């Protein structure tokens, strides 16, 4: 029954989504949901097909909700970028090069703390290291960056 209804489901989704490639994903999600609940599928063929299309409708509604959330978040992020003060591109490039020249574990800690706004403790948790280790690495990173900045100037 699922193989028979798949082409009809594809047509259903193609006619309802903006990105055609999403239609195939939604068919897969619908079929997976039906397969998980196969014992609940009604017995007569016409009722089972309607039941499957009910599942498809719910899958489509979830997809649309997710798209609205993504669009709202993207709009908020674009707005934040417009409102953020622009930094000098040359200084940013120099800073990125300096941070990238640090050992990997120091560079990532610097990025988390200074670019992403994490506290040292939160960065430690994110990296899976003790806070005391993060504090020590933070001090080493600051010292290394100060030394490299002094040489660069």
- pLDDT average, residue stretch 107-126: 93
pLDDT of residue 153: 66
Residue ranges covered by each domain of the chain: 2-83, 89-152
Q: Are the C-beta atoms of 120 and 138 separated by less than 8 Å? A: yes
Give CA 83 to chain center in angstroms. Answer: 23
Q: Are the C-beta atoms of 111 and 99 separated by less than 8 Å? A: yes
For 93-108, how does the pLDDT look when each residue is reduced to its tens digit (9 = 90+)? 788 888 999 999 999 9
Tokens of 11: 């047509």
- Residue whose tokens read 């989504």: 17
- Residue whose tokens read 């259903």: 12
For 72-81, how does the pLDDT look when each residue is reduced to its tens digit (9 = 90+)? 999 888 888 7
- pLDDT average, residue stretch 125-130: 95
Please give the CATH topology (third level) of the domain spanning 89-152: Arc Repressor Mutant, subunit A (1.10.10)
Q: Does domain 2-83 have CATH number 2.60.120?
A: no
Tell whether the model's pLDDT for residue 82 goes beyond 80: no
- Residue whose tokens read 């005391």: 132
Indicate the average pLDDT of the chain: 89
């Amino acid at each position: 029954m699922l193989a028979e209804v798949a082409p009809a489901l594809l047509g259903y989704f193609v006619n309802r989504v903006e990105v055609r490639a999403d239609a195939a994903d939604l068919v897969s999600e619908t079929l997976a949901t039906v397969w998980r609940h196969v014992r609940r599928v009604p017995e007569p063929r016409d009722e089972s097909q309607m039941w499957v299309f009910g599942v498809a409708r719910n899958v489509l509604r979830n997809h649309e909700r997710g798209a609205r959330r993504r669009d709202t978040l993207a709009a908020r992020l674009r707005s934040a970028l417009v409102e953020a003060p622009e930094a000098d591109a040359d200084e940013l490039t120099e800073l990125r090069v300096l941070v990238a020249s640090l050992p990997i574990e120091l560079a990532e800690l610097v990025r988390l703390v200074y670019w992403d706004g994490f506290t040292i403790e939160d960065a430690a948790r994110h990296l899976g290291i003790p806070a005391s280790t993060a504090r020590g690495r933070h001090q080493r990173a600051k010292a290394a960056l100060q030394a490299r900045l002094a040489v660069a100037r």
